[in-house]
């Protein structure tokens, strides 16, 4: 099977993109998904979203990229291109879709003048960690972050 093509997300991709975001982040509220999709597609957003399309009206993966202006553990540059979200439908995994999305992200980052591409995965997400490693990422550190809400 051929690897589906990737391209920059278009406004009409929102329903399919939302479907995949729900699968990746099921605990995220609908309002938060809608807000983030709006922010990521705003003309002033400095990042980009790539999608992989299995057919003209159906997607099978996405990669959301931003530019982080704060230090990212393991990086040697600021600002840095950052993969905020990366998802491939389960039935399309292992066939190169994820790699193709990361290649698009790398090309975009290089064209923007970045020297590094950063990302993360949850500590218990072994498939996600392996996917990153198979695409050439190197593990920089492991951390547990804490937040205490103040009244």
CATH number of the structural domain spanning residue 40: 3.40.630.30
Query: Is the separation of the CB atoms in 84 and 108 below 8 Å?
Result: no
Question: Of 103, 107, 112, whose CA–CA distance to 46 is shortest?
Answer: 112
Question: Within a domain: residue 140?
Answer: no
The whole-number pLDDT of residue 145 equals 87
The whole-number pLDDT of residue 123 equals 94
Question: Within a domain: residue 57?
Answer: yes
Structural domain of 121: 6-134
Question: Within a domain: residue 76?
Answer: yes
Question: Within a domain: residue 120?
Answer: yes
Question: Within a domain: residue 112?
Answer: yes
Query: Is the separation of the CB atoms in 145 and 109 below 8 Å?
Result: no
Q: Tokens in use for 34?
A: 């809608």
Question: Within a domain: residue 143?
Answer: no
> CB within 8 A of 118, min separation 6: which ones?
68, 72, 74, 75, 80, 81, 82, 83, 140
**What burial class does residue 150 get, using C-beta atoms within 10 Å of its C-beta: 0-12 exposed, 13-18 middle, 19+ buried?**
exposed
pTM comes to 0.93
Q: What is the pLDDT along the chain (151 residues), one digit of tens a residue?
A: 689 999 999 989 999 999 999 999 999 999 999 999 999 999 899 999 999 999 988 999 999 999 999 999 999 999 999 999 999 999 999 999 999 999 999 999 999 999 999 999 999 999 999 999 999 999 999 988 899 999 8
The whole-number pLDDT of residue 2 equals 86
Question: Within a domain: residue 147?
Answer: no
**What burial class does residue 18 get, using C-beta atoms within 10 Å of its C-beta: 0-12 exposed, 13-18 middle, 19+ buried?**
middle
Strands 117-118, 80-88: pairing is parallel
DSSP structure class, residue 7: E
Question: What's the number of domains the chain is made of?
Answer: 1
């Amino acid at each position: 099977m051929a690897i589906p093509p990737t391209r920059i997300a278009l406004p009409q991709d929102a329903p399919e993109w939302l479907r995949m975001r729900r699968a990746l982040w099921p605990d995220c509220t609908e309002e938060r998904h809608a807000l983030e999709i709006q922010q990521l597609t705003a003309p002033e957003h400095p990042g980009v979203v790539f999608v992989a399309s299995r057919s003209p009206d159906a997607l099978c993966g996405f990669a959301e990229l931003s530019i982080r202006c704060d230090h990212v553990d393991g990086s040697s540059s600021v600002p840095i291109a950052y993969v905020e979200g990366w998802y491939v439908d389960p039935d399309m995994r292992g066939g190169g879709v994820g790699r193709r999305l990361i290649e698009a992200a790398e090309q975009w980052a290089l064209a923007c003048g970045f020297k590094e591409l950063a990302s993360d995965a949850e500590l218990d997400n072994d498939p996600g960690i392996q996917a990153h490693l198979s695409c050439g990422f190197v593990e920089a550190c492991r951390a547990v972050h804490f937040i205490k809400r103040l009244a």
